[in-house]
Amino acid sequence: MASRAVSITSAGLVTALVAIPLFAVFSRAGGVASLGAGDWSALRFTVWQASLSALLSCAFAIPAARALHRQRFWGREALVTVLGAPFILPVIVAILGLLAVFGREGLLSQALMFVGLPRIHIYGLHGILLAHVFFNLPLAIRLILQGWQDVPSERFRLAAQLGLGPLAMLRVVEWPVLKKSVPGAFLVIFVVCLSSFAVALTLGGGPKATTVELAIYQAFRFDFDIGKAATLAVLQLVFVGVAAAVLLRLVGAPRADVGLGRDQVFLRKSSRITTALDAGMIALVAVFLMGPILAIVWSGVFELTNLPASVFRAAGHSLTVALVSTGLCIAFALPLATFRAGQMVSLFGFALSPLVLGTGLFLLIQPYANPFELALVVTCVTNALMALPFAVRAIGPAFSQINADYARTADMLSLLGGARWRWLYLPRLRRPIGFSAGLAAALSMGDLGVIVLFADPDRATLPLQMYRLMSAYQMDAASGAALLLLVLSLGLFWIFDRGGRRGVGS
Amino acid sequence: MALVLKQVKLSKGGFLLSADFELKTGSLTSVMGPSGAGKSTLFDGLAGFIAPDQGTVEFDGVVLNAHEPGRRPIAILFQDNNLFPHLTAGQNIGLALSHKRRLTPAQMMQVDSVLARLGLEGMAERSLSQLSGGQLSRVALARMLLLDRPVWLLDEPFAALGPSLKRDMLALVKDMAAEVGATVLMITHDPSDALGLSDETILVADDHVSGPFSTKDLLADPPEALRQYL
């Protein structure tokens, strides 16, 4: 069948896109002996910060998810929706927002100075942790909330009927739930933070706060030592690869839409004290998440009118990159989502860090062309691969459901190949495709990864241009660019997701 | 001229169904038997969704074993999911004629006239959510008419309808089948459906398809397996 050939070709193409650069990396990498003390400390720091980030996120997420599960209040649904936003929020925008609240000149520092205390020093490990918790706390809350929502409401009713006290409740009802959901959340966050680049680039650095991903970049850009970059890339590949494999084995592929749908509240009797504690926790999370975003909107809105032309040029590049990489991502995701091996292939994007792939692509291109001229093309491809696992994870189950419902009717009508896609699959997959496209577009729009590796002055994307403005201490222009980037990222997601929801028959 | 199953053995989910019978072209036959006895498995084998382990399925002398479901002279209506809910009534029916993006004017006229024939005049543009259960059944029948295949398999497609609507639909099936000379097999749980539709009934029970029997005789003195079920 023709569609089978397309599926296998796509799987082969994606595998090649990943395997060939990796091969290039391996062939250039030196032995473990060529790594210096600094490289090993980068590795230690990477694992250390990822563990702490995951630990802190989960520690705060447990009481927050529990509060969200048992309390009903005005704006609850909106808050649960907002919990999905950091996933598509450009990292660099969030960092500027965090600086505006927690930075040297930030609101919190000013408040501290007002009462005579020293300013906060955000750069270094605690800055990295702050940013990682900002991004991953919502994810952890959603994962743990989902765990709670999977518990039949009868169990809570039964516990209430038996008059279980808080301790017995913890042992009988809550502990089993947490035991199932928290390790998964911890692992996902750990793996995500292992390949942290943009956060380490902006808030870390220096010998004490360098991740392997950042070390690859530094070997590239500052030492011009491609062999060392390749060696580090192998190190990173092994660590992220093993961690991702463990994650996939234990909890399965991560999804982007977890904990957002099917949201129900089971009223659980709670005392006044627990209600107050819950309210405090929810307020804390809401302020922590909304504060930086509101700070961006507030400081950026007055700068929008006098943004430099370079920002608009960069925005144009970013939009093009985002749309092309969205197209690529969906074009790969559709055939890959249709069979199990294809779904596995899509997971490369999860096990692989962008800078490792970028290093490989650089090595491949270098003998034939100037890699810096191809910066945007490389960014398109890498971003598409990075969004691919989420797209396949959204489309795959929907595809299986369509087959379970309609494959026999379609077979009987001899609706095969392209006609089957046109009449059956595409219209019925509209929603997950729209969601995936929105995700791919927003992720690509906000990406600050390989583009930094390949950067040249003429070909900046908006996140890169923003980073440059920040590095040059042009904070006003950076704020304006941040707001523009925020609006474009969320806007792209909204348009695609909306497009997928419109006109869908029941 | 007949639908013939010769020494057919069908296996599905660990159980084996054997069938060896012959139905005359243009005949109407009910299919009865306890739940889980393999009535749907029999239909899957006829329609080509599962291949027989042994034996042959033939229609008018042509062995169908190697034919894909879409290439068999057999149309089937399931209990549900017969129609694609994202398409209009007309588009659903049109898929019987062509898989192209648009129908030709001649094909559109065919769709309109079959709709009119089934009392759904001018409803081609309606989305399925705008139609009632009875109308949806008619759309599915309309598509089956336009598919123009000589054998119709009905796997309780009207089970969700009320009794009087179901009677109307069975009468309609009978009329249409007589008009085009279709050979009809219909799975039913309801003796009055069987009596109303067909003179003959085949029985699926104890891993075996037997019959055809006279529907009247069978129901007047049902064998043990059927008696328990009824």
Which range among A241-250, B127-136, B165-174 shows the weakest confidence by mean pLDDT? A241-250
Q: Looking at the complex, does the CB of residue B128 fall below 8 Å from at least one CB of chain A?
A: yes
Position A505 scores a pLDDT of: 46
Fold of A2-29+40-501: MetI-like fold (1.10.3720)
The one-letter amino acid code at A87 reads: F
Q: What is the pLDDT of residues A353-386, one digit of tens each?
A: 888 888 888 889 888 988 888 888 999 999 999 9
Average pLDDT over residues A431-456: 91
Whether A263 has a pLDDT exceeding 60, the answer reads: no
Question: What is the pLDDT of chain A when averaged over all its residues?
Answer: 86
Number of A:B CB contacts under 8 A?
A: 57
Q: What is the 3-state secondary structure (H, E, C) of chain B?
A: CEEEEEEEEEEECCEEEEEEEEEECCCEEEEECCCCCCHHHHHHHHHCCCCCCEEEEEECCEECCCCCHHHCCEEEECCCCCCCCCCEHHHHHHCCCCCCCCCCHHHHHHHHHHHHHCCCCCCCCCEHHHCCHHHHHHHHHHHHHHHCCCEEEEECCCCCCCHHHHHHHHHHHHHHHHHHCCEEEEECCCHHHHHHHCCEEEEEECCEEEEEEEHHHHHHCCCHHHHHHC
Please give the pLDDT value at position A503. 59
Which residue in B49, B68, B129 is closest to A505 by CB distance? Answer: B129
Domain residue ranges in chain B: 2-73+150-229, 84-148
Q: Mean pLDDT, to the nearest integer, of B160-184?
A: 89
Contact A423 B99 (CB under 8 A): yes
- Where is average pLDDT lowest: A370-379, A392-401, A495-504? A495-504
The chain B residue lying nearest A404, using CA atoms, is B81
CB neighbour class for A260 (10 Å; exposed up to 12, middle 13-18, buried from 19): middle
**Tell me, what's the pLDDT at A7?**
87
- For chain A, the domains span 2-29+40-501
Query: Mean pLDDT, to the nearest integer, of A35-61?
Result: 91
CA angle B58, B59, B62 (to 5 degrees): 70
Class of domain B2-73+150-229: alpha beta
pLDDT at B86: 92
**Two tokens at B134?**
């009875």
What integer pLDDT is reported at residue A356 of this predicted model?
86
pLDDT given for residue B164 in this prediction: 86
Res A261: pLDDT: 45
The predicted model gives B142-170 an average pLDDT of 89
Identify the pLDDT of residue A506. 40
Contact yes or no for B70 and A411 at CB 8 A: yes
| Mean pLDDT of the B70-94 span | 92
Residue B50 in contact with partner chain A when CB distance is under 8 A = no
Q: Which residue has the higher pLDDT, A329 or A256?
A: A329
pLDDT, mean of residues A437-466: 90
CA-based nearest distance A402→chain B, Å: 10
Task: Flag if B84 and A419 touch (Cβ within 8 Å).
Answer: no
Cβ atoms of residues A63 and A459 within 8 Å: no
Instruction: Tell me if chain B has a CB within 8 Å of the CB of A412.
Output: yes
Q: Which of A38-47, A154-163, A366-375, A479-488 tops mean pLDDT?
A: A479-488
Nearest CA in chain A to B71: A414
What the block records as the tokens of A364 is 């491949």
Q: Smallest Cβ distance to B86: which of A409, A415, A428?
A: A428
The reported pTM is 0.87
- Is 60 exceeded by the pLDDT of residue A484? yes
Reply yes or no on whether the pLDDT at A251 is more than 80. Answer: no
State percent of chain A over pLDDT 90. Answer: 39
The pLDDT of residue A113? 79
When CB atoms are compared, the residue of A409, A423, A424 closest to B82 is A409
Average pLDDT over residues B173-182: 90
